[in-house]
Amino acid sequence: MEEGHKKILQRYRINIVTSLDPSSVYDRLLQKGVFTPEMIEKIKSSGTPRDQARQLARDLATRGSRAFPLFLECLQDSEQHSLAELLRSGGSMSNHLILPVVRTLPVSSAVDFQKQIKAAPIHPLHSPTPSPGAENQQAQTQIRTRMEGRRRRDSLQIYKMDATPCGHCLIINNVDFEPQSELSNRTGSNIDCDRLERRFKALHFLVEVRTNLKQRRLKHELSDLAKKDHSPYDCCVVIILSHGTEVNHNRFPGAVYGVDGQYVPVQHITNYFNGKHCPTLQGKPKLFFIQACGGGEKDQGFEVPSDEFEPSEGGIDDQTDAIPASSSSDSLSTSDEPDAGATLPTPSDILVSYSTFPGYVSWRDTQSGSWYIETLDRILEENTATVDLVSMLMMVNNEVSQNSAKGIYKQMPSSFNSLRKHLYFQTSTPGQNSVQRN
């Protein structure tokens, strides 16, 4: 299958899992030679209809160059037109909008809604085919308009994020754990790592990847990064993909493991980069993304009206990154005494985004990577140009919360945020526009 078609299947995997009726396309896929009878039987035996849809999408990506268009034909023939159209347009519409189900409003609500529509300002539409001479001018106007729209009327401002490059991004990917650690290998983590490496390179970061680090080496890499001169840059990103556990803390919860089975508390990790210990990052955003369990508890969720959510069930390949909770706080090697000369709180301008809520497990699909990273990558791809980071993380929370592992267990990402301003990643080519962000 062509790489572009594989990307479309990956991007809209959740839509396929939640919308596809696999039983209606089996015979058609067989007749068109997309799958063999043995492959169809394998898909049918994978579990629930959603499990079958997930397996079908995976197997489809392994077929020939005609598999994708033939699959679209099968969707049309089985009257699954909405899904067919979504996948067909996926190759040319990077920000394709998925329209919600339309429900009839009560009379009173409909009247109120009409009033809101009449009261809303009407913005003129830009021409889809501007003349070549006006193209650059229109692009600049759109950028300025978007930036002005970002500026809230209150005291909140926007972090400067236009340095070239924007900053350092360190990814620590612990996959293969030593036997004495008694921790399982994290199959599927390389998929997460590759996704994030591509994503943050596209966001103009200097990305470095470190794999299978023991606790001591993990600390060393963090210390080395914190000691760099970050003066030319606007931001710093640390991403850790590993097993995790719950530990006592007084700021940021949780801990991540080295491949030797020894852990480092998250609050220790952030301490390397705070305003006291990393002066060249003072006043600049320091972002931490943690794909690891926050504890060993499995969340079975609670019942909600069935028409409010479109849950997505996980598959048989779902695993956790959980380790039993520890009572040790792993005392910090750096002092927690306040810095008397600081003009900002020491832990300011820090955001720690966790794949799961403290105390709970985090789920990872061995075939497609973790729920959190897969969703985070897609949300960044689709929304970075117009949406701030904190709002995008709320989108991630919403989507991941609708997944279910083994049809039972849930996951809720969370963030600990001391950012003082809105943060918008740099998406245009450095130097392409002159809009200043304060």
Query: Of 168, 278, 293, 422, which one is the catalytic site residue?
Result: 293
| Cα 186 to Cα 320: distance, rounded to the nearest angstrom | 9
Angle between helices 3-11 and 67-77 in degrees, nearest 10: 50
Q: What is the DSSP letter of 281?
A: G
Sequence-distant (6+) residues with CB within 8 A of 285 are 159, 161, 234, 235, 236, 349, 350, 351, 419, 421, 423
Segment among 77-81, 135-139, 192-196, 235-239 with least mean pLDDT? 135-139
pLDDT tens-digit series, residues 371-412: 899 999 999 999 999 999 999 999 998 888 776 544 556 678
Average pLDDT over residues 198-208: 97
Q: Is 266 helix (H, G, I), strand (E, B) or coil?
A: helix
Q: Which residues pair with 405 in a beta bridge?
A: 409
Q: pLDDT tens-digit profile of 308-318?
A: 444 444 544 45
Give the pLDDT confidence score for residue 140 in this predicted structure: 65
Pairwise pLDDT comparison (371 vs 211), residue with the higher score: 211
243 part of the active site: yes
pLDDT at residue number 397? 87
Q: What is the pLDDT of residue 401?
A: 77
Residue 110: pLDDT over 80: no
Backbone phi and psi for residue 264, each to the nearest 5 degrees, phi listed first:
-125, 125
Which amino acid is it at 309? Answer: F
Instruction: Give how far the C-alpha of residue 222 lies from the chain's centroid of Cα atoms, to the nearest Å.
Output: 22
**Range(s) within the chain of domains with CATH label 1.10.533.10:** 3-89
Contact of 416 with 349, CB cutoff 8 Å: no
pLDDT exceeds cutoff 60 at 182: yes
Rounded to an integer, the average pLDDT of 193-211 is: 96
For the record, the structure tokens of 3 come out as: 């790489």
* pLDDT the model gives residue 323: 45
- Of the candidate ranges 1-15, 78-92, 332-346, the one whose mean pLDDT is the lowest: 332-346
CB 207 within 8 A of CB 201: yes
Specify the CATH number of the domain 167-417.
3.40.50.1460
pLDDT per residue as tens digits for the range 340-377? 333 445 578 999 999 876 656 566 677 777 889 999 99
- CA–centroid distance for 265 within its chain: 22
Name the more confident of 39 and 141.
39
Catalytic residue among 243, 268, 278, 422: 243
| 138 compared with 398, residue with greater pLDDT | 398
Mean pLDDT of 105-110: 44
- Find out whether 307 and 261 touch, Cβ atoms under 8 Å: no
Does the pLDDT at position 414 exceed 80?
A: yes
**Residues with Cβ < 8 Å from 2, sequence gap 6 or more?**
65, 68
Burial class, 289, CB count within 10 angstroms (exposed 0-12 / middle 13-18 / buried 19+): buried
What value does the mean pLDDT of the chain take? 76
Alpha helices in 203-251 (DSSP H): 215-227
- What's the confidence (pLDDT) of residue 1? 77
Tell me which CATH code domain 3-89 carries.
1.10.533.10
Confidence (pLDDT) at 329: 29
**C-alpha closest to that of 292 among 364, 219, 225:** 364
Structure tokens at 38: 């043995």
Instruction: Give CA angle at 266 (345, 369), nearest 5°.
Output: 130
Judge whether residue 307 has pLDDT over 50.
Answer: no
Of residues 360 and 81, which shows the higher confidence score?
81
pLDDT higher for 139 or 231? 231
DSSP string, 300-324: ------TTT---EE--TTEEE-B--
26-40, 263-277, 294-308: segment of lowest average pLDDT: 294-308
Average confidence (pLDDT) over 68-82: 92
User: SS3 for 355?
Assistant: coil
Residue 327, classed as helix, strand or coil, is: coil
Apex 365 CA angle, 364 and 371, nearest 5:
55
Report residue 271: phi and psi, to 5°: -60, -30
Please give the helix or strand (H or E) that residue 92 lies within, else none: none
Active site residue 126: no
pLDDT on residue 240: 96
CB atoms within 10 A of CB 84: 18
Helix (H) or strand (E) holding 290: strand 286-291
- Mean pLDDT value of segment 30-49: 89
